[in-house]
Amino acid sequence: MSLWTSAEIAAATDGVASGDFIVTGVTFDSREVGPGDLFIAMSGEATDGHKFLDQASERGASGAIVAQATTHPHVLVPDTMVALEALATASRARSKARIIGVTGSVGKTSTKEALFAALDRGDPGAAHRSVKSYNNHTGVPLSLARMPADARFGVFEMGMNHAGELAHLTTLVRPHVAMVTAIAPAHTAFFPDESAIADAKGEIFAGLQPGGTAIIPFDSPHRERLIAAARPHAERIVTFGLEDGADVRAIETMRTAAGGTFVTAQLGTRELSFTMSQPGLHWVSNALGVLAVVEAVGGDLALAGLALAELGGLQGRGARFMAKLAGGEALVIDESYNANPSSMRATLAVLGAEAAQRRIAVLGEMRELGDGSAAYHAALAGPIDEAGVAYAVLVGPEMASLANALEGRVQFVHVADTAAARTTLMTILAPGDAVLIKGSNGVGLSALVASLANGTA
């Protein structure tokens, strides 16, 4: 199916097309180009996409957006980044879809995927969402440019690590429903306190379309701050959470034999019972937010509940598998994509609920926490105790304060990097163990997960 014609691309970007062509996808990474794609030759600090036009063509690109002359089918523009945003704007303008924007300190990608699953279950093939964690100044417009013209729902993740970033992204997405998952200490190196983080996340509401709905975490200490940010822009404000008083709340939760949670939720005067396949109360909260959004866009709540029951763990964000060892297997919980104090506590609680011979935690340092980094790391000692962790592998120099806090409390080792963590883990891991692997993405613990998955650890 056609996504864009060269004429439509030229009109959207004020560019000049070299000829007629049709594209079925959009990317700015030459390694991701597939047959029929539009390749946008972005120029960055590290490299210039124009160097990869031949490679993109060899991989099947139907055309490119370029700012330099080329013999390949193209649309010539003065600036390819500006052209990407223009194409995103054109995509949003032509769409009749109900658009959902998702942000928050934790849970953005998981909630976005759960929302997509819920909407797709009710209307197969009609929902579009941003892939991976494409949530920044290039990822959001790329995700918009990829949205089919006939999509009925669009779910877009928006991230930031500085004030003002969401204010721009939300003007591109222009959501009908804007959701904040949670506020937590993340990127605190760039903010004076959590209230400032809440203010930056609250920028998403400024893009709400007339008649729009704001979805806000009731249990957050910053709830009233977020409500104040939403009130000038939202016709309707809906809260979700575990505590009494939330508009969408859990009135009963019970852990299932499979490790998920059976939830009875109240939405106004209605009740809905469903099973959340992913373990942990943080996932229950995410699911309640998903239900609030589905209701706001007119989706099918019953089918959304079924989708939540079937939702698998995402790579780096809760995926589970059994690692083969001599004499048996060990459970691996892959949380290697990112970490902040809130998500560390939540996933350690999940580990603590596992019935295992031993619970092992491989924890990479949490980055971008600024002056409070040492205190945030040391404070993980309590959750480690509560989870019944038998052995902790601490990775990275920022973990020094946690190492000090754990002295005499639990067996641990503090190592410099992922390679050393792998060596240590493979000397202690035994059949029947459950191991949580979590840290900031830059620590590189995903390589340890991969080696366990393919049996090369």
Residues annotated as binding site for ATP? 104-110
Q: How far is CA 259 from CA 290, 315, 353, in A?
A: 20, 18, 8
Binding residues: 104-110
Tally Cβ neighbours within 10 Å of residue 161.
15
Element (H, E) at 341: helix 341-352
Bridge-based pairing of strands 411-415 and 391-395 is parallel
Tally Cβ neighbours within 10 Å of residue 273.
11
Q: How far is CA 289 from CA 49, 237, 293, 433, in A?
A: 39, 12, 6, 33
Check if the beta carbon of residue 59 is closer than 8 Å to that of residue 34: yes
Backbone angles phi, psi at 450, to 5 degrees: -60, -40
Structure-token match 């589970």, residue found: 320
**Burial class of 269 by CB neighbour count within 10 A (0 to 12, 13 to 18, 19+):** exposed
| Rounded Cα gap, residues 247 and 291, in angstroms | 11
Check if the beta carbon of residue 23 is closer than 8 Å to that of residue 62: yes
